[in-house]
């Protein structure tokens, strides 16, 4: 059997979802596989009455997740907003998996996303041969979700052209999708809804119209509030990715994860942990997702080209690559950070030397 590199959420966590179905005796909205309480438990983790342990999928405010789930139980669509790397897509996938059993009804927003990706397209061979017919129509993920009472996901909504965005207005307000070529329409089955994501850095690229924004309830996903929280997120995701990539567990990972998180948080906030030194903020986002990538790459280096111990040199290159996006401005502020902050930390001498070597 072929092993998948990255199973969908409903595949990877099928046992947990099945366990929740067995014990979930609370009211469920139409077409939902689980009650809102069970969906929140699946996302945030917990232990069921039968002893089944549900692993956390998202680390953050419970109230925030409850608000997102409650929104999807109404006729309002959900917009997850935040800076890059705040787990918007991750949360969207797991919400869809828990609610409708499928996270694959996905529209990826880009500058070139056509209206057909939101509405429908045509099989042109059949269209030419037979003329307009339902058999010649190619439904979009949104149309499929409407017909099945499922959840459609739209990634990077603000990257899509404004006219494509506005194709959603009728869908979200009237819960119907006209098909004028056939003189008919698709009406949404109860349970249908949309989860869209957008990042703060894209505001103004294709700003949502006021008419469309009113159709969404916006939930802002923040960066992790504390260093400890971010360390837990990175540690958990690195462990999951390590198992998926069959990387042997590396000694010393916890110390280096904490160091990577410290560097990212200080430069992201523009001040050191003790609040004594102000720092210039680099042009990159330095997100939690990037921290996970830096550590995972370091694990691969330690495992395949080192002695299995994750060291400063294994993560230094990834950190420098994440910080220095602008070869002029970012390189200067990185050098300042190394000389004024890193160099002065007694237990960071190894990282200082490794980072200096990467710059040469």
β-pair type (193-199, 151-155): parallel
> What pLDDT, in 10s, does the model give residues 136-167?
999 999 999 999 999 999 999 999 999 999 99
Q: What pLDDT, on a 0 to 100 scale, did the predictor assign at position 260?
A: 94
111, two tokens: 């500058």
What whole-number percentage of the chain has pLDDT above 90?
72
The per-residue pLDDT for 252 is 65
pLDDT tier at 202 (50, 70, 90 boundaries)?
A: low
pLDDT in tens, 35-46: 999 999 999 999
pLDDT, tens only, 219-256 = 999 988 899 999 999 988 888 888 878 777 766 688 89
Q: 24-30: which pairs have CB atoms within 8 A and are 24 or more residues apart? A: 29/73, 29/191, 30/149, 30/190, 30/191
| Residue 243 confidence (pLDDT) | 80
> How does the average pLDDT of the chain come out, rounded?
91
Count the Cβ atoms, other than its own, within 10 Å of residue 245.
Answer: 12
Two structure tokens written together for 340: 């004024």
pLDDT at 309: 86
pLDDT score for 4:
79
Q: Is the pLDDT of residue 203 over 60?
A: no
User: Poorest-confidence range of 59-63, 142-146, 200-204?
Assistant: 200-204
């Amino acid at each position: 059997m072929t092993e998948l590199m990255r199973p969908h959420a409903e595949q990877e966590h099928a046992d947990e979802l099945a366990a929740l179905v067995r014990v979930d005796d609370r009211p469920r909205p139409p077409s939902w596989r689980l009650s809102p309480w069970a969906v929140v438990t699946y996302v945030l983790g917990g232990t069921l009455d039968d002893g089944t342990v549900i692993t956390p999928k998202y680390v953050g405010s419970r109230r925030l997740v409850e608000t997102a789930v409650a929104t999807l139980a109404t006729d309002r669509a959900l917009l997850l907003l935040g800076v890059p790397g705040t787990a918007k897509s991750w949360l969207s996938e797991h919400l869809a998996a828990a609610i409708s059993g499928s996270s694959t009804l996905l529209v990826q927003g880009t500058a070139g996303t056509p209206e057909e990706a939101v509405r429908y397209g045509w099989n042109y061979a059949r269209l030419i041969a037979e003329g307009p017919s339902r058999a010649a129509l190619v439904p979009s993920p949104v149309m499929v979700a409407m017909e099945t009472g499922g959840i459609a996901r739209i990634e990077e909504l603000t990257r899509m052209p404004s006219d494509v965005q506005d194709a959603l207005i009728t869908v979200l307000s009237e819960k119907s999708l006209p098909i004028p070529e056939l003189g008919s329409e698709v009406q949404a089955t109860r349970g249908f809804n949309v989860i869209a994501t957008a990042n703060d850095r894209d505001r103004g690229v294709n700003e949502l119209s006021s008419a469309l924004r009113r159709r969404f309830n916006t939930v802002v996903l923040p960066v992790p509030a504390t260093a400890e929280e971010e360390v837990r997120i990175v540690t958990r995701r690195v462990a999951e990715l390590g198992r998926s990539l069959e990387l042997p567990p590396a000694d010393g990972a916890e110390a280096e994860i904490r160091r990577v998180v410290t560097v990212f948080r200080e430069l992201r906030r523009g001040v050191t942990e003790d609040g004594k030194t102000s720092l210039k903020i680099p042009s990159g986002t330095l997100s939690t997702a990037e921290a996970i990538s830096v550590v995972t790459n370091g694990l691969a280096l330690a495992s395949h080209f080192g002695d299995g111990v994750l060291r400063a040199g294994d993560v230094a290159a990834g950190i420098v690559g994440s910080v220095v996006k602008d070869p002029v401005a970012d390189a200067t502020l990185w050098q300042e950070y190394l000389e004024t902050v890193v160099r002065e930390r007694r237990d960071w001498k190894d990282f200082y030397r490794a980072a200096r070597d990467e710059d040469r």
